Structure formats: structure tokens, C-alpha cells
Amino acid sequence: MKFSLSVYCLLLALPRTLPAQPDEHPTAGQPTPYADKLAHAPRPLPDRIVLTWAGDPATTQAVTWRTDPSSASAVAEIAIANDHGYSLKPVTVPARTEDFTSDLSAARYHSVAFTELQSDTLYAYRVGDGVNWSEWFHFRTASREPRPFTFVYFGDAQNDIKSHWSRVFREAFRDAPRAAFTLHAGDLTTLANSDAGWGEWFGAPAWVNATIPVVPTPGNHEHFKDEANAGTRTLTRHWRAQFTLPEQGAPAGLEESCYYVDYQGARIIALNSNRLQAEQVAWLRGVLARNPQRWTILAFHHPIFTPVRNRDNAALRALWKPVFDEFKVDLVLNGHDHTYARSGDTTGRVGTSNQPSGYSQAYDPAIGTVHVISVGGPKMYAAAQGTYAVRVAENTQLYQVIHVAPDELHYEAHSATGRLVDAFVLKKRAGRPNELRELLPPANCTPAQAIRN
């Protein structure tokens, strides 16, 4: 069935989403909503295999995996990939092992950092204990030079991950099977300390996490109220056990949740918007001041501009936005608000005079930063104040495919069925802010039509 543009805009405006709820911060020991916890129990065979980086993507690669406690040893084997698997000549690398007890069972997490790799080279690797092995996986190291690459960005997965987020991830993989990495802007799961919930998150991408690296950012649902420590917000122990991430002098207490990765001309910076926000300012300013890369992309959970009523993070905006502006950050990627919104030039658009306080420069052409909020899972909030944005979408699960070249960044947002929802291009200009070229929405589908009033 085909719809006219006016009907499409009307559908976007229908009140099918929920009003925003207060932030949820699960407490330790909270029961899980998962019926079959045993389905997520560890075994001698490696599972939850995930690639990340703790060092330079051109010469290193980290891998982390889980087994049950019966695994007395853990190793990885790695070789330059070739056309005949039997002729691989792997090198064995011993793993670092950590005993881990969750609400589900005892387990062991293992991690290996492959180092002294050749740049822009396809490698094969497997992990195991010498008897119980994973399959062989491939990964490619980054180039040392700025070269075009693609990555996929997801907002919150969080709820009904196995049932509903899995199809979003897999549709994204169909669109970008050679992606350099996937970036997750927080709330990967809904209960910070639920092992079964993490099992669903690892199960949705399945083997893809073992061949395309992950760049994760923690959300409020990766934190819990630690009643043993006066109810302070604490990052789940699952985070550092299952992801091996850079430690680059981040403020104490933010290790592996505040870091950056340099990839082929882009600096990808992950911030932790959940806690110690002021302590991150000096670290961020230093990372931006010493940035040799052409592109700068920030990812953190709580947006500093939102279309959702009563969800404004004004204090965070006042704290961090001056630093973003000072260094003319190119792109900011967020989650948290369970809707879609993207800033841009709203000059002449309907309703812009009614923007919330502090939103008048959500997009400043003299600076050029573009802010995006997205959601991957099925939990949705209603948009109510989206006039600062050039594109708003409700009740839509999304993934974003971002193509980065030395002089241009191409951005596409797709729905769960692959439909193109939003697109734009950022073009570098010598000595001037980026040029923003809008590819969507159509000129006669204004933000005022595309949000719920």
C-alpha cells in the first residue's frame, strides 16, 4: 500500500507512544523478568564472544568471552587469514581470566589483547581452552591512514531484546555487513545485574559481535542503586567483565566507561553521562585539544537536547556543550529518550519560536555540530517539543548507518524494516564549519507536522 506524504506525516503525529517515565535505576538483587534463566547459563564452550579495542585499532584487537568454571585454562589462537583453513599457522596467546558470580550462576570471563598486528590486514582467530574451541572468526585491522569506513549506531535496545531488537540489529547487518564497528549509546539492557538480560543482548547479534567490534557506552540501565553503598549509582560489574575497553587516564571511577578510539581519521569518544559529569570536562577538553583526527564523534547516553517533555538535561548541557562548541565537535550520538530526533537548521520552519529554553542553538551553523537521539528497541516515548529538530519520528525502531570519508560524512537512519527515515551529509570546509546538506525530510513535511502536539 502506498501513502502520500501528507498521510505519512499524519501517521507520525498519531499519539501511539508513551509519555516519558522517570529514569529507572534497578537495585541489586532485583528479580529478572526472564522466564528461562537456565537458557543463559555458561557452558564449557565459549559464548558471548565480543571484539572491542583497548589500544590502536590498526595494530591491536581485544576479544572477551565467557565459559563455565570448569575451564581450567583459556587461550586464543590467531593467524593471518588465508584461503584454506587447514593451512593456517596460528600463534597461541594466553588469556586473562576473571571469576564472576552473577544472579544466574558462577562463570569465568576471559580476555586477550592481540598486539603487534599488521594494519589493514584480515586475521582469523578462535578462543577456547585447548579442547573446547569456538569457530574461527575473521576481523580486519584498521588502516594507519584516513580512509573511508562505515559504522552502525544504535540507540537503546533495553527491552524485549531477543524478541524485537534482534531484528533491528540483523537488518542493520544486512545493510552494512562490512561495518568497521557497531556503536551503542547506552541502555543495552534493562536490568544492570541480570545475567539473563545480558544473555539476550549478546544473543541478538549472535556471532556478529565476534567479527565486528563493539564500541559500547553505558546508560542509566547499566547502573544500579547500590544499597550497600548508600544507594549510590554504580556501574554493573558485568560491564568491565565482558568488555575490554581503553583506559586512557579517565577520571577515577570511570575506567572503561569514558574512553576514545581513533579509527581511520575519526576520533570516537565515549562519555559516561550517568555520573561524575563535571569530572569529565577536563579529560574531554584534553582529548579534544590533542585530537589529530579530521572527524570528532561523541557518544553518550543522556541527550543535551530532547523532543520529550520533562526529560531536559539542562545541567548537563550547561556543563558539556561549551566544550563541544569550543572544539566544533562534528556529531553527537545519544539514546535514552526512546524516540528519534535530529538537529539541523530550522530557519523558517513552523513552530521554531516555541523552542524550549536553551534550545535556540541546538544547531548553530557557525559551529556545525549535529545532535541525534535514536532508539533501537521497542520501548517508546511521545515527542512533545521537537521544534528544535529537523527530523522527529515516534514509535519507530531504528538503526543508523554512518559512512565516514576524509572530507564527507554520510548519515542514514533506517527503520526496523530498512525504510529510510532521515539522511544528511556533513562536508568539511577548510577554515570554516562543516556544511550540512539535508537529504531528508521533504520540504513540505515540517517538524510541527511530524511530532505529537
Q: Are 247 and 255 in contact (CB under 8 A)?
A: yes
| 271 burial via Cβ count (<10 Å: 0-12, 13-18, 19+) | buried
Cβ–Cβ under 8 Å, residues 410 and 438: no
The pLDDT of residue 30 is: 46
Query: How far is residue 344's CA from residue 145's CA, in Å, rounded to a whole number?
Result: 30
* pLDDT recorded at residue 315: 96
pLDDT at 45: 97
Asked whether the bond before 213 is cis by omega within 30 degrees of 0, the reply is no
Measured distance CA(386)–CA(46) in Å, rounded: 45
Q: What is the dihedral of CA 296, 297, 303, 308, to 10 degrees?
A: 120
What's the CATH fold of domain 146-438? Purple Acid Phosphatase; chain A, domain 2 (3.60.21)
User: Domain spans of the chain?
Assistant: 45-140, 146-438
SS3 (DSSP) at 27:
strand
So what CATH class is 45-140? mainly beta
Predicted confidence at residue 230, as pLDDT, reads 75
Residue spans of the chain under pLDDT 70: 1-37, 349-354, 441-453
Beta strand pairing call for 149-154 and 181-184: parallel
B/e letters for 161-174, b = 16+ CB within 10 Å, e = fewer, are beebbbebbebbbe
**C-beta of residue 179 within 8 angstroms of C-beta of residue 152:** yes
